[in-house]
């Protein structure tokens, strides 16, 4: 319907809903391909599966421009500090999808070299199973994340369930980012 | 598995059929040539490790050394005895390839438990730079004369040599949710 | 821009200048090199760090580049960011389980890894697989080579800004992947080629699917050639960039398409045939100059050669068993397990304890899409290997970076890294 045919030329909505809707529809993933899963991640973004359907086809090379980190592959002890730094560099609000069993639990490689679950390093919102998960499985994970962003119980769930291996994630100054939002300074009466 | 060991010993006792292996044994007395599943293998003394490689490259036209690796035999259940070779804990293995002759040869040297050291082949085959660093990283075997013997796969400050048999694989027990104790 | 001249003396100094440690790089301050003009005395070089989280380093490769202006003077690849401890894990898995481990090394050609591992185990066991298994293995490995090279075309295009090439490459690879999924049940990491043969037979109607793939891929390759091979921008980015001589390539342990691009026709499928490669008709593709463009053309044409081999495999596929009928290594057929207790026990024992392999050691090399992949396997007579070492071609091929990027521009470094086609899962294992 053209705008001039609207009986009233304004709509009302809760600001929170609007923000959540906007966030859901404009998730910018960071490129964090590590191993086999990265290939499936790229396949998800390529012609046949086409991640652009969810407005997510633009993978940002700079973590500063991204708000979703899809950890696609096994995280080694050598890579873990890098992963953490990239996560710290991303702007709030940010989400993490742990793609594949290696990122989620270490998978079949229970040995000295791998971090046994990326949730020991960064907080994880959605775990996608599979070795590697097919693009359809990743889509399911992404849609689950979208649902969590839209319904807004994302942070509540994380706090309630103590997910993320009970590790408090803070910015560089040590303040847990998702627990304490930026304080709004009110003018005192 | 005693039968298999005996088979291995019997196979090793035969004279080497490969003329390159025979040439190496001729040139470096004390070396032992065996046939391992159809492939020529020469067990050489660690002291002549570099000389054998130089001989192979310069006289026998082995243009490429495709791989250097090592084996830790600390906890072997059974090990084929090779007459004339004193088996030690570590083995360093080099696979040579000759493009013009289209032949392969493997040389193996035995290294003891205490500070295993062998000469580096990087001056002959620069492509072994990474491989020797990997062996150093994983087994703690030192290659003398290597230009930059640093860890390659593990972080610089890692302690221990992961592929040694006495280095635990660092298994983290699998704990399931609501599980009273790790399995 | 003047081309920096690197003399032998400088080269020796650069080679020796690694006392700073393998994972550190410090700028050389105000130093004039032997040749004289490389760096002004007052000026410093700059260290540029690429990776490990960088979109064009194909995974988690990290390269430190020392720059004079925009020219690369020195480079140092740092690997290990994907070190998975697979060789240690391989010592803890039985020979039956080992395939799941090695298939995850080179995740773009998992079937090559499975093949080299299975061949090594079979050589230690002294068994021969039946003819149908041989030809099926060849068919699968060549399909995988097609998929791998198609993906390389895609990522190489993406790295150099040809985004449409990326979409095309993925499109045709998807077709191959779907066929492999139909056969093996998985898109990647198949664990389908196993010691003693294969996990299952070919599915119904495989021939029709295969013909469609061959036609589509052949058409696709012509399309890519039309799109890029004579494209002036493409030529500008690739011709003469990252040159490597045959001598240098051989000395540095380089194998596969990079070695062939220097004009040295060395392909293990021809030189030291395994499976039934001596019975099929195909050509070894080799380049002339050893630059990025030759590597591109070698890989592009190798897709067509693989199609040729796949067609011959399909035509000559023999009937018979797809795995050896040796009860020591082969599980009983699925139907028998339902009706026979002994078959169930046999199956259970085989997959929990595995089979024993006589003591010995062997090295088996084959030609993977990236070069010579070798498996050095040592057994002590138990059900698990003492040592499982994979000679990863990417691991050695990465050493080609240093001579190739020396004297190149930063933008060329992206093209050169891309043309090496490193798979870090295999380099770091």
Q: For position A55, what pLDDT does the model report?
A: 80
pLDDT at residue A43 is higher than 90: no
Q: Are B154 and A77 a contacting pair at CB < 8 A?
A: yes
CA-CA-CA-CA torsion for A75, A79, A85, A89, nearest 10 degrees? -60
Three-state DSSP at B117 gives: strand
C324: pLDDT confidence band, cut at 50, 70 and 90?
A: confident
DSSP assignment of C59-91 equals: TT-EEEEEEETTEEEEEEEE--TT---HHHHHH
Percent of chain A whose predicted confidence (pLDDT) is above 90: 3
pLDDT of residue C335: 83
Look at residue C229 in the predicted model and tell me its pLDDT. 86
For B172, the closest of A77, A78, A110 (CB atoms) is A110
pLDDT of residue A27: 87
pLDDT score recorded for residue B16: 52
Question: What average pLDDT does this structure show over C206-218?
Answer: 91
Chain A partners within 8 Å of B155 (Cβ): 77-78
Q: How far apart are CA C9 and CA C342, in angstroms?
A: 72
Rounded to a whole number of angstroms, the distance from the CA of B126 to the nearest CA of chain C is 5
H, E, C per residue of C244-282: CCHHHHHHCCCCCHHHHHCCCCCCHHHHCCCCCCCCCCC
Contact C96, C121 (CB under 8 A): no
The C-alpha R_g of chain A, in whole angstroms, comes to 18
Question: Helix, strand, or coil here: B121?
Answer: coil
What pLDDT shows up at residue A180? 46
Q: What is the pLDDT of residues C347-368, one digit of tens each?
A: 888 888 888 888 889 999 999 9
E strand spans, C117-205: 193-194, 197-198
pLDDT higher than threshold 80 for residue C16: no
More confident residue, A55 or C249: C249
ipTM (interface pTM): 0.84
3-state secondary structure chain A: CCHHHCCCCCCCCCHHHHHHHHHHHCCCEECCECCHHHHHHHHHHCCCCCHHHHCCCCCECCHHHCCEEEEECCCECCCHHHHHHHHHHCCCCCEEEEEHHHHHHCCCCCCCCECCCHHHCCCCCEEECCCCCCHHHHHHHHHHHHHHHHHCCHHHHHHHHCCCCCCCCECCCCCECCCCCCCCCCCCC
The 10s digit of each residue's pLDDT in C24-78 is 666 554 443 434 444 444 456 778 888 777 766 677 888 888 887 788 888 888 8
Average pLDDT along chain C: 84
Question: Which uninterrupted H or E stretch holds C391?
Answer: strand C387-391
How do residues B151-173 score in pLDDT, each as one tens digit? 888 887 777 888 888 876 665 65
Q: Which of A40, A50, A60, A76 is the best substitution to test chain C (most C C-beta atoms within 10 A)?
A: A76
pLDDT at A160: 60
Which H or E run contains C304?
Answer: helix C292-316
Q: What is the pLDDT of residues C96-122, one digit of tens each?
A: 888 899 998 888 899 999 999 999 999
Q: Which of A36, A48, A112 sits opposite C85 (nearest CB)?
A: A112
For residue B142, what are the CA distances in angstroms to A27, B136, C160?
A: 50, 6, 41
CB C326 within 8 A of CB C332: no
Q: Which chains touch B (3 or more CB pairs under 8 A)?
A: A, C
**Section B65-83 average pLDDT:** 85
Q: Using CB atoms, which residue from A31, A39, A109 is nearest to C108? A: A39
User: How far apart, in whole angstroms, are the C-alpha atoms of residue C115 and residue C109?
Assistant: 10
Q: Which chains touch A (3 or more CB pairs under 8 A)?
A: B, C
Confidence (pLDDT) at B169: 63
Decide if C266 and B99 are in contact by the 8 Å CB cutoff. yes
Q: Which residue of B153, B154, B171 is in closest CB contact with A110?
A: B171
pLDDT of C375 strictly over 90: yes
Residue B61: Cβ within 10 Å count: 13
Residue A50 structure tokens: 């086409």
Asked if C428's CB is within 8 angstroms of A76's CB, the reply is yes
Q: Do B102 and C252 touch (CB under 8 A)?
A: no
Tokens representing C91 are 């010592």
Q: Which helix (H) or strand (E) holds C360?
A: strand C360-368
Residue B37 to residue C362, Cβ atoms within 8 A: yes
pLDDT at C311 over 80: yes
Question: Which whole-number Å values give the CA distances from C100 to A99, A113, B21, B174, C193, in the listed order?
Answer: 19, 18, 36, 19, 10
Q: Give the best-scoring range by mean pLDDT among B22-26, C21-25, C298-302.
A: C298-302
Instruction: Determine the average pLDDT of the residues in A144-165.
Output: 65
């Amino acid at each position: 319907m053209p705008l001039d045919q609207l009986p009233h030329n304004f709509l009302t909505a809760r600001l929170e809903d609007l923000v959540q809707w906007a966030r859901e529809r404009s998730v910018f993933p960071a490129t964090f391909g590590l191993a086999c899963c990265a290939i499936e991640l790229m396949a998800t973004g390529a012609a046949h599966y086409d991640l652009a359907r969810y407005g997510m086809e633009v993978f940002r090379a700079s973590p500063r421009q991204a708000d979703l980190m899809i950890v696609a592959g096994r995280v080694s002890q050598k890579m873990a500090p890098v992963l953490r730094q990239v996560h710290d560099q991303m702007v709030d609000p940010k989400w993490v999808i742990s793609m594949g069993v290696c990122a989620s639990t270490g998978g079949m490689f229970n040995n000295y070299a791998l971090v046994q679950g990326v949730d020991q390093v960064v907080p994880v919102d959605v775990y996608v199973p599979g070795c590697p998960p097919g693009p359809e499985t990743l889509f399911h994970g992404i849609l689950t994340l979208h649902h969590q962003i839209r319904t807004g119980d994302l942070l509540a769930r994380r706090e309630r369930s103590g997910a993320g291996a009970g590790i408090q994630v803070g910015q560089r100054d040590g303040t847990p980012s998702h627990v304490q939002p930026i304080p709004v300074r009110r003018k005192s009466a | 598995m005693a039968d298999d060991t005996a088979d291995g010993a019997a196979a090793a006792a035969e004279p080497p059929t490969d003329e390159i292996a025979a040439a190496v044994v001729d040139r470096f007395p004390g070396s032992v040539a065996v046939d391992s599943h159809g492939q020529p293998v020469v067990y050489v003394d660690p002291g002549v490790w570099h000389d054998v490689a130089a001989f192979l490259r310069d006289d026998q036209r082995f243009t490429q050394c495709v791989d250097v690796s090592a084996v830790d035999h600390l906890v072997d259940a059974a090990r084929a005895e090779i007459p004339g070779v004193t088996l030690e804990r570590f083995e360093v293995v080099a696979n040579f390839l000759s493009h013009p002759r289209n032949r392969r040869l493997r040389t193996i040297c035995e290294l003891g438990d205490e500070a295993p050291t062998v000469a580096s082949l990087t001056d002959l085959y620069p492509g072994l730079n990474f491989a020797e660093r990997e062996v150093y990283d994983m087994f703690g075997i030192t290659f003398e004369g290597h230009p930059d013997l640093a860890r390659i796969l593990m972080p610089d400050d890692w302690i221990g040599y992961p592929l040694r048999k006495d280095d635990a694989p660092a298994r983290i027990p699998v704990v399931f949710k609501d599980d009273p104790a790790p399995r | 821009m003047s081309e920096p001249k690197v003399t032998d003396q400088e080269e020796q100094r650069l080679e020796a200048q690694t006392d700073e440690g393998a994972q550190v790089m410090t700028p050389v301050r105000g130093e004039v090199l032997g040749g004289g003009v490389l760096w002004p005395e007052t000026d410093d070089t700059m260290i540029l760090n690429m990776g490990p989280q960088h979109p064009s380093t194909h995974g988690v490769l990290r390269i430190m580049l020392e720059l004079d202006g925009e020219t690369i003077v020195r480079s140092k690849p740092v690997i290990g960011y994907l070190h998975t401890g697979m060789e240690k894990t391989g010592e803890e898995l039985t020979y039956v389980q080992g395939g799941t481990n090695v298939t995850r090394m080179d995740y773009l050609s998992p079937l090559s890894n499975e093949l080299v591992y299975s061949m090594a185990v079979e050589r230690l066991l002294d068994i021969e697989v039946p003819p149908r298994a041989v030809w099926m293995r060849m068919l699968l490995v060549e399909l995988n080579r097609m998929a791998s090279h198609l993906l390389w075309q895609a990522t190489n295009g993406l790295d150099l800004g040809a985004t449409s090439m990326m979409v095309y490459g993925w499109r045709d690879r998807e077709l191959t992947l779907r066929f492999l999924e139909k056969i093996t049940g998985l898109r990647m990491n198949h664990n389908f080629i196993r010691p003693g043969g294969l996990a299952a037979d070919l599915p119904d109607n495989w021939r029709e699917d295969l013909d469609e793939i061959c036609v589509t891929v052949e058409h696709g390759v012509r399309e890519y050639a039309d799109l890029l091979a004579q494209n002036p921008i493409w030529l500008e980015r690739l011709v003469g960039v990252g040159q490597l001589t045959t001598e240098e390539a051989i000395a540095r342990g380089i194998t596969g398409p990079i070695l062939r691009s220097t004009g040295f026709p060395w392909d293990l499928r021809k030189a030291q045939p395994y499976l039934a490669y001596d019975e099929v008709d195909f050509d070894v593709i080799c380049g002339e100059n050893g630059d990025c463009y030759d590597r591109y053309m070698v890989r592009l044409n190798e897709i067509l050669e693989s199609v040729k081999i796949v067609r011959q495999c399909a035509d000559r596929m023999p009937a018979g068993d797809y795995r050896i009928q040796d009860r020591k290594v082969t599980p009983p057929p699925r139907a028998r397990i339902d009706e026979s207790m002994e078959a169930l026990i046999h199956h259970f024992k085989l997959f929990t304890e595995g089979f024993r392999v006589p003591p010995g050691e062997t090295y088996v090399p084959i030609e993977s899409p990236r070069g010579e992949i070798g498996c050095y396997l040592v057994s002590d007579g138990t059900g698990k290997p003492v040592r499982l070492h994979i000679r990863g071609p990417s691991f050695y091929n990465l050493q080609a970076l240093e001579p190739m990027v020396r004297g190149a521009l930063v933008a060329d470094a992206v093209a050169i890294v891309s043309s090496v086609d490193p798979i870090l899962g295999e380099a770091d294992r």
